[in-house]
Amino acid sequence: MKHLITATGLVLATQAVAETPVLNVYTYDSFATEWGPGPAIEEGFEAQCGCDLKWVTAGDGAALLSRLRLEGEGTEADVVLGLDTNLTAAARDTGLFAPQTVSADYALPIAWSDDTFVPFDWGYFAFVGNAEDPKPANFRALADSDRRVVIQDPRSSTPGLGLLLWIKAAYGDEAPQVWADLKDNIVTVTPGWSEAYGMFLDGEADLVLSYTTSPAYHVIAEEDASKVALPFDEGHYLQVEVAGAVAGSDQPELAQAFLAYLASDAAQSVIPTTNWMYPAVTPEGGLPDGFTDLVTPAKSLLVPEGDVPAMRDAALEEWRAALSQ
Amino acid sequence: MLTLEALTLRQGDFTLHADWTLAPGARLALIGPSGAGKSTVLASIAGFLDPEAGRILWEGRDLRGTPPGKRPVAMLFQDGNLFPHLTVARNVGLGIRPDLKLTAADRDRVSAALTRVGLAGMEDRMPGSLSGGQQSRVALARVLVMDRPLLLLDEPFAALGPALRAEMLELVSALCDDTGATLVMVSHAPEDAQRITGLTCVVADGQAAPPVDTAAVFADPPQVLRDYLG
Amino acid sequence: MARSPVAVILGGAVALAVAALILGPLAAVLWHAGGAGWPSPSDWSAVRFTVWQAVLSAVLSGALAIPVARALARRRFLGRGVMILALGAPFILPVVAAIAGLLALFGRNGVLNSALAAFGLPGIEIFGLHGVLLAHVFFNLPLAVRLLLEGWRAIPAERFRLAAQLDMPPGAVFRLIEWPMLRQRMPGVLAVVFAICLSSFAVVLILGGGPAATTIELAIYQAFSFDFDLGRAATLAVLQLIMVTVAALLALRLARTDGMGAGLDRPMAIWTDRPGLRVQDAAVLILTALFIAAPMVLLVIQGLPALVQMPAVVWSAALTSLAVALASTGIAVLAGLALALPRRGLYDSIAMMTLAASPLVLGTGLFLLIRPFAFPGNHILAITAVVNAAAALPFVLRSLAPDLHATEDGFGRLADSLDLRGWARLRWLILPRLRRPLGFAAGLAAALSMGDLGVIALFPPPDTATLPLQIYRLMGAYRMEAAAAASLLLVALSFGLFAVFDRIGRHADT
């Protein structure tokens, strides 16, 4: 008898689930973990949509795009969240995305008008070091100094690619020389951000390629103000993370609703202390404390998305050549 | 009746011929110099070596293609006759059912066989805890329960001292009396052959000669045997 | 069971399944790409570097293993058994933990550099080709030592007795007795280490120091993720597969008794000795013990403080990893047994292929194959267990093969004459005789599966994680201390699993 009741309950529950529309959101792994924004955003959106939000994750933004390309038209994704401005051109070229209709008062350092992608957070790449140490003010000063730097591989890491485009955007044809000068400062090139940041914390390097927002984590989560980002006077390369609705989605309204929710205050106020990036829209309560006294670059650098593919291939070759000497 | 019919055995460059029969219940010693092929004859009867030519027949039936375990043969090797990881009772029990699914009656048979070879009550011992002579007795108990009409011994007692070896051969002889089995054994020592076998086959120069009366052959050994005996 | 048609068919089916698991995904990627691609010049330089570092790693590990194995072979001392056991540790140490341990020893703030600085000496730098080699020697020296130790043990004691009787000097003993053994065994040892280092990924990237130290696997990553050139990624994967398989086959052919070295506890007798030799052996053994043990001790010191306040998800990830590792062990041991029983070279060789599979191409191909029927992310734990099992197969097979051969050689005829076939032969002869290597192999498979990030990183499930994935997640969320503690837990669990299985193998039913 007891089993019968359980079984009936299961059947009913399954039916209930079956009737709830499911929204598949593809994102990168760290977004959906318990420390990322995922859980709060899922809870908030499900409370208003009467739907079941399901995260489907890939390793990082680049892997996310690869996954989408592999699946093509047959993808079950309704929304893709976590591409950045270096990937949007390739993402757009797939033709898999639907136009978006979200309008919001974006607090981005650049004007945002994009009919496909909704920005949800942004940040500047920067070198992070210890407060009491010397702080070179640009790449040339860094190259002349004895500071030990750990960076990431542009072929396998988002910040790694960001640095490549940063130096290219700042120095153009002189980029190879800058890399050559930096060579003796670079301790090693790690496959991903985590390994590099871990090495920096362990004292293997004086500086690590990360974000201007990284010190906020240490201030807010650890009450440790000893980590700082170095302002560079060439300007800092900008990363804007975006989401887009998939054209072939069987839940187009839900997808658009989710994009709108992503730009809403409920989601945006979660972003800073979970994804450790600037929210795309300033929350009503303002930025959290640790975010207000961060380094703000004098100049924002960003390669137009259409120029990224050609430029990154050339920059990668220069990088490889300079550092392989 | 065991028949080796125009048999040619080959191992690499070595060849051996035999063409003779052995009456049921007979006891035959294969004797001859090392490397003459005594073990090869046993291996072919047991099914470990396919004849190059000719046939091996048991009761008129060609044994070719019959795997070793399906032949009417129980065999003891020079060494490694027991599985060291199984108890005495299980080692013997394998002779009744290779999957060791033994009935109570089977287990009684095992115990009876152990008693017969003088190892009553040793069922649960491991082979490693037994003396060499006791290990041989376990193997013989298994031969007993296998109840095969043809017993092949490839010098299983070679490592034992002379007195113990003699004792084992007496036991073999008694077991053959019990079961009426035909015995073919390899021997280095003429006294072993003289002790229990009525017939002797001289293996030398690529020939396993037809069996002859043991007493007669030792009374007047052929040249090859004389060379071997020295 | 051996040589029986059932065993051959069963082994063949498993071999086919393994081949399909490795080649199927590759074919799927090629098919999706619409054909193979041609590697770029930088890909070729990655191929060259991969081979070069693997050659150097093999030669160094092999050469350094000679004095260590020699000293271990001829000395009795307190803790000798422990040392031989500990020599197995680096092999099953998760890569992420090993790198952390090596950095704690050789890094800028490491123990060694602190000591050097205290004496006013210049520090050493771990990053670069030499860092890669150092790490590879750390992983593979113990393996090489164990393989050579077997060689020393196989030299009949009578030869050393004769040498002593003739009052041969140590040089002559080496030249006349030990060198011939080394000449036989060393090629196999070199090939094994070479094959393992060919497919090394994280070590080379993290310690390599820059793009000059790029491996084929990163070239595959670039082709796949950066350029989305699946054809080129597949070509590179094929190249890697061919190189590693050839090296592994060479190892198989050259390594004479090619066990993994289970149970080498008895020292050999020694009659020729000199005080100088004693000092040399002591120095070699102490240095080796320090080199192997120090990174692990430092790992414990680093991770211990955070161990008490580990997030709950770490514990649940640990349970998940345990379940995956146990499932993977079951699959690996059963498949290894099925492949080993028929004793066919072809089946052996097929198992060796798994050493060479590119995780990225394997994962992508599996995704392409599974996607039409199911969502790979929903079954990722099962997929991880299967892929981890496949990765452990070469080592499982190498552990089982020598004892299986010895069993068949020693008892095959008796079993045949008793008509012991099929299941009965397996149950009453082979399994009892293989208990030790089975325990050892199961321990190896469990530890390797426990520590390997594997394909799960490609399809990380949002609601669950294995421990290695959880460690990466903690690191990605700035929680480096918790990650260090979780790494320590991972190491403890890996070693624990190995020790439990190995013990079961040693003590069961005896």
Q: Say whether A56 and C477 touch across the interface (CB within 8 A).
A: no
Per-residue confidence (pLDDT) for residue C272, from 0 to 100: 58
Following CA atoms C337, C340, C346, C350 in sequence, which dihedral angle do they give, to the nearest 10 degrees? 40
Per-residue confidence (pLDDT) for residue A13, from 0 to 100: 47
Crossing angle between the packed helical segments C345-352 and C230-254, to the nearest 10 degrees: 130
Crossing angle between the packed helical segments A193-201 and C467-476, to the nearest 10 degrees: 70
Give the pLDDT confidence of C47-78 residue by residue, as tens digits: 999 999 999 999 999 999 999 998 988 888 88
Per DSSP, C354 falls in state G
pLDDT confidence of C273, banded at 50, 70, 90? low
- Maximum CA pair distance of chain A? 80
Residue of A nearest to C463 (CA): A33
Per DSSP, the residues of chain B read: -EEEEEEEEEETTEEEEEEEEE-TT-EEEEE-STTSSHHHHHHHHHTSS--SEEEEEETTEE-TT--GGGSSEEEE-SS--S-TTS-HHHHHHTTT-TT----HHHHHHHHHHHHHTT-TT-TT--GGGS-HHHHHHHHHHHHHHHT-SEEEEESTTTTS-HHHHHHHHHHHHHHHHHH--EEEEEES-HHHHHHH-SEEEEEETTEEPPPEEHHHHHHS--HHHHHHH-
Per DSSP, C462 falls in state T
Q: Say whether B94 and C418 touch across the interface (CB within 8 A).
A: yes
Q: Is the pLDDT of residue C257 over 70?
A: no
Q: Any idea how long chain A is?
A: 325
The residue ranking higher by pLDDT, C466 or C159, is C466
Domain B22-49+66-72+149-230, CATH class in plain words: alpha beta
Q: Tally Cβ neighbours within 10 Å of residue C463.
A: 11
User: How far apart are alpha carbons B134 and C95 in whole angstroms?
Assistant: 54
Average per-residue pLDDT in chain C?
84
3-state DSSP assignment of residue C306: helix
Q: Is the pLDDT of residue A14 over 60?
A: no
Per DSSP, C174 falls in state I
User: How far apart are alpha carbons B77 and B81 in whole angstroms?
Assistant: 6
Same domain, A94 and A30: yes
Tens of pLDDT along chain B (230 residues)?
899 999 999 988 889 999 999 999 999 999 988 888 899 999 999 988 899 999 999 999 999 888 888 899 999 988 888 888 889 999 999 999 888 889 999 999 999 999 999 999 999 999 989 998 999 999 999 999 998 999 999 988 888 888 888 889 999 999 898 889 999 999 877 888 888 888 999 998 899 999 999 888 888 888 888 888 77
3-state DSSP assignment of residue C139: helix
C380, C459 in Cβ contact below 8 A?
yes
Domain ranges for chain C, please list them.
Answer: 1-34+308-510, 36-304
Q: Say whether C461 and A186 touch across the interface (CB within 8 A).
A: no
The average pLDDT across A44-62 equals 90
Burial label for B118, CB within 10 Å (0-12, 13-18, 19+), is middle
Give the pLDDT confidence of A229-279 residue by residue, as tens digits: 999 999 999 999 999 999 999 999 999 999 999 999 999 999 999 999 999
The β-bridge relationship of strands B73-76 and B150-154 is parallel
CB contacts, 8 Å: C479 with chain A: 35
User: How far apart are alpha carbons C280 and C196 in whole angstroms?
Assistant: 30
Touching subunits for chain A (3+ Cβ pairs under 8 A): C
The average pLDDT across C468-497 equals 89
CB contacts, 8 Å: C427 with chain B: 99-100
C408, C348 in Cβ contact below 8 A?
no
The residue ranking higher by pLDDT, A209 or C276, is A209
Same domain, A7 and A68: yes
The average pLDDT across C135-163 equals 83
Q: Say whether A70 and C367 touch across the interface (CB within 8 A).
A: yes
Q: What is the 3-state secondary structure (H, E, C) of chain A?
A: CHHHHHHHHHHHHHHHHHHCCEEEEEEEHHHHCCCCCHHHHHHHHHHHHCCEEEEEEECCHHHHHHHHHHHHHHCCCCEEEEEECCCHHHHHHCCCECCCCCCCCCCCCCCCCCCCEEEEEEEEEEEEEECCCCCCCCHHHHHHCCCCEEEECCCCCHHHHHHHHHHHHHHHHHHHHHHHHHHHHEEEEECCHHHHHHHHHCCCCCEEEEECCHHHHHHHHHCCCCEEEECCCCCEEEEEEEEEEECCCCCHHHHHHHHHHHCCHHHHCCCHHHHCCEECCCCCCCCCHHHHCCCCCCCEECCCHHHHHHHHHHHHHHHHHHHHC
Per-residue confidence (pLDDT) for residue A173, from 0 to 100: 92
Q: Which two tokens stand for residue B155?
A: 């010098």
* C461: contact with A, CB 8 A cutoff: yes
C175, C123 in Cβ contact below 8 A?
no
Cβ-Cβ contacts under 8 Å for A291 (sequence gap 6 or more) = A213, A216, A272, A278
Q: Say whether B100 and C417 touch across the interface (CB within 8 A).
A: no
A208 bridge partner residues: A128, A150
The count of domains in chain A is 2
Same domain, A214 and A258: no
Cβ-Cβ contacts under 8 Å for B20 (sequence gap 6 or more) = B3, B4, B201, B208, B209, B210, B211
CB contacts, 8 Å: B85 with chain C: 432-433, 509
User: How far apart are alpha carbons C103 and A200 in whole angstroms?
Assistant: 12
The average pLDDT across C441-456 equals 88
The β-bridge relationship of strands A186-190 and B2-11 is unpaired
C400, C441 in Cβ contact below 8 A?
yes
pTM, full prediction: 0.84
The average pLDDT across C195-205 equals 83
Crossing angle between the packed helical segments C480-507 and C467-476, to the nearest 10 degrees: 170
Domain membership of residue A118 as a residue range: 2-122+239-292
Cβ-Cβ contacts under 8 Å between A and C: the total is 137
Radius of gyration of chain C (CA): 23
The average pLDDT across A212-225 equals 92
A318 bridge partner residues: none
The β-bridge relationship of strands A117-130 and A207-211 is antiparallel
User: How far apart are alpha carbons B95 and B81 in whole angstroms?
Assistant: 12
**Placement of tokens 């050789």 in the chain:** C106
Give the pLDDT confidence of C99-127 residue by residue, as tens digits: 888 888 888 888 888 888 888 888 888 88
Per-residue confidence (pLDDT) for residue A37, from 0 to 100: 94
pLDDT > 90 in chain C, percent: 17
- Maximum CA pair distance of chain C? 75
User: How far apart are alpha carbons C44 and C145 in whole angstroms?
Assistant: 33
pLDDT confidence of A197, banded at 50, 70, 90? very high
The average pLDDT across C19-30 equals 89
CA distances from residue C436 to A4, A247, C212, C506 in whole angstroms, order as listed = 48, 59, 44, 5
Give the pLDDT confidence of A155-196 residue by residue, as tens digits: 888 899 999 999 999 999 999 999 999 999 999 998 889 889
* B47: contact with C, CB 8 A cutoff: yes
Residue A106's domain is classified under what CATH number? 3.40.190.10
User: How far apart are alpha carbons C321 and A7 in whole angstroms?
Assistant: 30
Find the range with the poorest average confidence among A95-99, A244-248, B53-57, C289-293: C289-293
Cβ-Cβ contacts under 8 Å for C120 (sequence gap 6 or more) = none
Residue among A55, A188, A198 minimizing CB distance to C480:
A198
Residue among B75, B85, B95 minimizing CB distance to C433:
B85
Per DSSP, C163 falls in state H
Burial label for C372, CB within 10 Å (0-12, 13-18, 19+), is exposed
Alpha-helix runs per DSSP H in C353-479: 359-370, 380-417, 422-425, 431-433, 435-451, 467-476
Q: Which residues in C411-429 are b (16+ Cβ under 10 Å) and which e?
A: bbbbbbbbbbbeebbbebb
User: How far apart are alpha carbons C214 and A172 in whole angstroms?
Assistant: 26
Same domain, A33 and A118: yes
Residue of C nearest to A220 (CA): C478
Same domain, A7 and A139: no
User: How far apart are alpha carbons A67 and A56 in whole angstroms?
Assistant: 11
The arrangement of secondary structure in C1-34+308-510, i.e. its CATH architecture, is Orthogonal Bundle (1.10)
Q: Say whether C428 and B86 touch across the interface (CB within 8 A).
A: yes
The average pLDDT across C243-265 equals 63
Query: What CATH homologous superfamily does C36-304 map to?
Result: MetI-like (1.10.3720.10)
User: How far apart are alpha carbons C289 and C77 in whole angstroms?
Assistant: 13
User: How far apart are alpha carbons C129 and C50 in whole angstroms?
Assistant: 11
pLDDT confidence of C256, banded at 50, 70, 90? low
Touching subunits for chain B (3+ Cβ pairs under 8 A): C
Per-residue confidence (pLDDT) for residue B221, from 0 to 100: 85
Per-residue confidence (pLDDT) for residue C265, from 0 to 100: 43
Q: Say whether C417 and B86 touch across the interface (CB within 8 A).
A: no
Q: Is the pLDDT of residue C253 over 80?
A: no
pLDDT > 70 in chain A, percent: 94
Q: Is the pLDDT of residue C261 over 60?
A: no
User: How far apart are alpha carbons C383 and C390 in whole angstroms?
Assistant: 11
User: How far apart are alpha carbons A79 and A257 in whole angstroms?
Assistant: 10
Q: Is the pLDDT of residue A10 over 80?
A: no
Crossing angle between the packed helical segments C312-340 and C480-507, to the nearest 10 degrees: 40
